[in-house]
Amino acid sequence: MASNAQATEIFRTIADLLDLLGEQFKPEAYRRAARSIESLTEDLGAVAARHELRSIPGVGEAIAEKIEEYLSTGSIGYYERLKREVPAGLVELMRLPGLGPKTARRFWVELGVEGPAELRDAIAAGRLVGVKGFGEKKIEQIRAALATAAAGPAASGRRPIEEVYPVAHELVTALRERTGADRVEVAGSFRRARETVGDLDILVTTQAPARAFEVFSAHPLVGQVKMRGDTKETVLLTDGLQVDLRVVQPEEFGAALQYFTGSKDHNVRLRSLARDRGLKVNEYGVFRGEGRVAGVTEEEVYASLGLAYIPPELREDRGEIEAAAKGTLPPLVVESDLHGDLHIHLSSAASAEELERLVEEARALRYSYLTVVVAGERLDGTPWSLPAPIRTRLEELSRPGLWLARGLETGPGPIPDELGGIPFDVRILRPTNGAPALDGGTPPWALLAHVGSSVAPDAAALARWVEAARSARAAIEVGPGAERLDSTAARQAREAGVTIHVPTGLGSPDAATVRHVALGFARRAGAVADAVANARADPPVSAGGTGGGPRRTSSPDRPRSRPATKRTP
């Protein structure tokens, strides 16, 4: 999806350039279009070929034309003109923390400064002293921002959600236990389960805000306090992640949680819907005139606008508001829907104790099946397998109530001779480059895994794999890490009717992170329990290869059946 990413970046830059020219509403319009293009599940070229560019939210006549121009010529005349008009260095300046378009423009117009290097020189030469609006502190702040930018490129970019997850968990736990806060929730893109997180927004209700700030600032993860007001504190963690802590009143908590969860586009739509109904929504509640209509809970906020509750993962203005109004939102998969895992790896040196711990974990979660990969091919194509005693132990531990299936993980071709004698129940496909078509003669595939490890994640390759999974009736694995699908790709799989697999992380130290993040991605993709392979009561597996199939007696083997599935509450 290289061209989508490039188009996104071009429109973002156009927005910045227009900002620098002092334009009022155009910049936001271009940013809106950029956000939509970024989250597209298919290539812009494909949308253009169907003449459906205008159906992309935020893309109207003018931007659609510019996309066409970009697709056919590789550049956009309007963009090139703007770049000639405004020095490129100004965009860098306005992207520095604490600086914005107004300030960058003033440097340009009043001081002739056209970029970071010139600004540094101007400050060193004392040219900012005495300029209206620039006191000692402001100048120092700019100097510091320039130094940080020069030291390393983008020390404060967005980071993967799985990296932030344990940190968020720790901070929330500490706030709950040590500050006397009543309610503590993380909002923002973290709560929406976006793949990347820019910062953390934590909301608390407490009678003693000052104490909450005090305790929070003293947490070992916190590096420095950036600012502290009456209701809000901003800190930087030792690893550079920014965390905002906001204190809100209990009667406002739902409204604040809704407001700070976003997304921006979702909230804009919500507010305009409210306006149409004579209501006003802000972070303090929903109001008719002076009277508060809602605010304690999010459910109440949505209900007051005539909407069903919208799960955070869907709040991106991609049609969820219309669906909530009509009552057609899907009941998204929840953690208690998961009945097992089709893809568990143990190391080739695994011990029986490791296997037993794994089984204990599965029992504790009331899972009814696990596929443990017992044999397969390494990335270099050489075969490996779990030691025979471990495979035997696996069979011994399998019983009605918890079926331990044996997984065989290979490329798409015939099973290599070396692995031919090893019995298995589930065949897991590890894609290799250039061979997307699954061999129809082999047993049905249960799972397409490690997709990102062997194919470039561009739209065309992804489309091939989704089609391969669809025709083989295999599930595709979703979750954190380069080897699994992100939520955008998962949405594409869903749209093609391909089921997805949510890894549970069982047996790994970061199991909770893997499971929650993967579930979040599945929910972002709009998956209901029926769309998740391991949310089915019986494993979506048929007897495979030389294996014997399910060795349990409690329920008959039902290949490819769609057993009754627990409903989302």
Partner DNA sequence: GCCGTTTTCGGCCCGACTGTTTTCAGTCG
Chain residues that interact with DNA, rule: CB under 7 A: 24-26, 28-30, 32-33, 54, 57-64, 78, 94, 96-104, 132-139, 141, 188, 199, 201, 227-232, 242, 244, 260, 264, 267-268, 271-272, 276, 280, 282-283
Beta carbon of residue 459, minimum distance to DNA (angstroms, whole number): 22
The whole-angstrom separation of Cα 522 and Cα 227 is 36
CB of 304 to DNA, least distance (A): 16
E strand or H helix at 406, and its extent?
strand 403-410
Residue number with CB closer to DNA (128 or 502): 128
Minimum gap (Å) between residue 47 Cβ and DNA = 14
Rounded CA-CA distance 544/550 in Å is 10
Whichever of 62 and 379 has its CB closer to DNA, that residue is 62
Nearer to DNA, 117 or 144 (CB): 144
Of the two residues 84 and 132, which places its CB atom closer to DNA in the complex?
132
Q: Which two tokens stand for residue 464?
A: 């091939």
The SS3 of residue 83 is helix
Pairing outcome for strands 285-288 and 280-282 = antiparallel
Q: Coil, helix or strand for 37?
A: helix
**Nearest CB to DNA, comparing residues 141 and 508:** 141
Q: 3-state class of 237 per DSSP?
A: strand
Q: How far apart are CA 314 and CA 326, in angstroms?
A: 15
When the beta carbons of 244 and 538 are compared against DNA, the nearer one is 244
In contact, 491 and 524? CB cutoff 8 Å: yes
C-beta closer to DNA: residue 312 or 539: 312
DSSP 3-state of 136: helix
Q: Alpha carbon of 80 to those of 14, 59, 69, 212, 471: distances in Å?
A: 9, 20, 12, 50, 45
**DSSP alpha helices (H): ranges in 43-182?**
44-49, 61-73, 77-85, 88-94, 101-111, 116-124, 136-151, 161-178
Closest distance to DNA from the beta carbon of 102 (Å): 3
The type of residue at 260 is F
- Give min distance, CB of 267 to DNA, in A: 7
- Whole-number Å distance between alpha carbons of 319 and 316: 8
CB of 310 to DNA, least distance (A): 17
Please, are residues 304 and 279 in contact by the beta-carbon 8 Å criterion?
A: yes
Question: Do residues 357 and 393 lie in contact, with contact meaning Cβ atoms separated by under 8 Å?
Answer: no
CB atoms within 10 A of CB 185: 18
Dihedral sign for Cα atoms in the order 458, 459, 461, 466:
positive
Nearer to DNA, 54 or 567 (CB): 54
245 three-state secondary structure: strand
- Residue 519 CA, chain-centre distance (Å), reads 10
Nearest to DNA of 250, 497 (CB atom): 250
Q: 54 vs 363, which CB is nearer to DNA?
A: 54
Nearer to DNA (CB atom), residue 185 or residue 199:
199
Nearest to 411 by CA among 460, 451, 371, 372: 451
Q: Which residue has the tokens 């209900």?
A: 303
Q: What is the identity of the amino acid at 510?
A: D
Using DSSP, state whether 350 is helix, strand or coil.
coil
Instruction: Count CA atoms closer than 13 A to 367's CA, side-chain side.
Output: 27
Q: Which is nearer to DNA, 53 or 447 (CB)?
A: 53
Shortest spacing between CB 68 and DNA, in angstroms: 12
**Preceding peptide of 561 cis, ω within 30°:** no
**Minimum gap (Å) between residue 284 Cβ and DNA:** 7
User: Smallest gap, in angstroms, from Cβ of residue 526 to DNA?
Assistant: 20
Report the nearest approach of DNA to the CB of residue 186 (Å).
12
Quote the least distance from Cβ 192 to DNA, whole Å: 13
Q: How far is the CB of 174 from DNA (least distance, A)?
A: 21
